C-alpha cells in the first residue's frame, strides 16, 4: 500500500488498474516476442525477457561470466554495451549498502537497463482490457484500426518496466531501478523500487531520462553522478 502510494507520488503518469483476465486464451502463450510478419522485427513482451544477470548472449553481451546489468537483445547500442554495463556496475560499487541479498551479499543501489526496438502494444481502450497471468495487458491493439496515444504508450511502458523489474528481481529491498527504452516509439520509462525511490525522485527520473536521451546511444552512459 505504502509502496503504491509512493509509486503514484513518484510517477504521476497513468497508473491504471486492470482487472484480471478471465479468458484463458489471453494467458501468456510462452513467447517472449512475436515476430512482425512484414518486417521480421521482434515485438517484445516482458514475460521471460532475458535477464542480463545470466542470459548474456540473448542480452547482446560479450560477457561469459559475472553479473551484468544491461540487456540489449536488438543490439541498439551494440558497440557500447560493455561500457554501459560497466557504468551500471560502478553504481553499485560507489553507492552505500542498502540491504543483504539472497546469498548474504551487501546490496547497494542497482540500476539496470533494457533496450528494445519494438514493444508489444496492448489496447487500453478495449472494453475487455485486462491483465493476464504474466502481467501482460490484453488484448493486443490492432494498429491498423488505430494508433495508441502517447499517454497510452506511457502506460504501456510503465507496465512493461514495472513487470520487468519484478521479473528480474535484482534488488532484495526495492533498491533497484530499471530503465526501459523502446526505440520505435521513442519512449523511456524508469521503474523505481521502493527503497530507491527515496533517492531516485521525480526530478532524478527526469535527469536520468534526459541524460539517457543525450548520451546513451552515442556516447555511453553516465548515471553515476546521479546516484551518489
Helix extents (H) in the chain: 2-10, 81-94, 150-168, 202-211, 217-219
CA distances from 143 to 70, 100, 173 (A): 30, 45, 39
Return the number of the residue (32 or 224) whose C-beta is nearest ligand NAG: 224
Do residues 119 and 160 lie in contact, with contact meaning Cβ atoms separated by under 8 Å?
yes
Q: How far is the CB of 223 from ligand NAG (least distance, A)?
A: 9
25 binds ligand NAG (CB under 6 A): no
Do residues 170 and 179 lie in contact, with contact meaning Cβ atoms separated by under 8 Å?
no
Q: What's the CA gap between 24 and 209, in Å, rounded?
A: 37
| Pattern 71-110, ligand NAG, x by CB under 6 A | -------------------x--xx----------------
Q: What's the CA gap between 147 and 111, in Å, rounded?
A: 32
142 binds ligand NAG (CB under 6 A): yes
Return the number of the residue (10 or 124) whose C-beta is nearest ligand NAG: 124
Out of 64, 79, 145, 203, the only residue in the binding site for ligand NAG (CB under 6 A) is: 145
Stretch in the footprint of ligand NAG (CB under 6 A) among 38-46, 74-82, 140-148, 211-219: 140-148
Stretch in the footprint of ligand NAG (CB under 6 A) among 74-82, 138-146, 159-167, 195-203: 138-146
Alpha-carbon dihedral of residues 107, 104, 134, 187, nearest 10 degrees? 10
Nearest alpha-carbon partner for 135 in 35, 33, 48? 48
Out of 127, 144, 150, 203, the only residue in the binding site for ligand NAG (CB under 6 A) is: 144
Q: Rule CB under 6 A: which of 179-208 touch ligand NAG? A: none
What are the grid coordinates assigned to 218, written together? 552515442
Q: Which residues is 169 bridged to in the sheet? A: none
125 binds ligand NAG (CB under 6 A): no
Stretch in the footprint of ligand NAG (CB under 6 A) among 58-66, 141-149, 166-174, 189-197: 141-149
Would you tell me which residues interact with ligand NAG (CB under 6 A)?
A: 90, 93-94, 142, 144-145, 224
Amino acid at each position: 500500500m505504502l509502496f503504491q502510494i509512493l509509486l503514484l507520488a513518484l510517477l504521476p503518469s497513468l497508473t491504471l488498474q486492470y482487472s484480471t483476465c478471465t479468458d484463458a486464451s489471453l494467458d501468456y502463450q510462452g513467447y517472449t516476442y512475436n515476430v512482425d510478419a512484414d518486417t521480421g522485427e521482434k515485438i517484445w513482451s516482458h514475460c521471460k525477457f532475458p535477464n542480463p544477470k545470466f542470459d548474456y548472449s540473448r542480452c547482446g553481451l560479450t560477457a561469459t561470466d559475472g553479473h551484468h546489468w544491461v540487456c540489449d537483445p536488438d543490439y541498439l547500442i551494440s558497440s557500447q554495451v560493455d561500457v554501459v554495463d560497466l557504468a551500471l556496475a560502478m553504481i553499485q560499487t560507489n553507492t552505500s549498502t542498502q540491504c543483504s541479498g539472497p546469498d548474504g551479499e551487501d546490496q547497494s543501489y542497482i540500476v539496470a537497463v533494457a533496450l528494445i526496438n519494438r514493444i508489444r502494444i496492448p489496447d487500453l481502450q478495449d472494453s475487455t482490457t485486462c491483465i493476464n497471468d504474466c502481467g501482460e495487458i490484453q488484448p493486443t491493439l490492432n494498429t491498423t484500426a488505430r494508433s495508441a496515444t502517447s499517454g497510452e504508450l506511457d502506460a504501456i511502458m510503465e507496465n512493461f518496466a514495472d513487470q520487468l523489474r519484478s521479473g528480474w528481481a535484482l534488488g532484495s529491498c526495492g533498491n533497484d531501478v530499471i530503465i526501459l527504452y523502446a526505440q520505435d516509439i521513442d519512449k523511456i520509462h524508469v521503474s523505481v523500487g521502493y527503497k530507491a525511490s527515496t533517492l531516485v525522485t521525480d526530478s532524478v527520473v527526469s535527469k536520468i531520462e534526459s541524460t539517457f536521451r543525450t548520451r546513451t546511444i552515442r556516447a555511453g552512459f553516465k548515471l553515476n553522478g546521479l546516484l551518489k
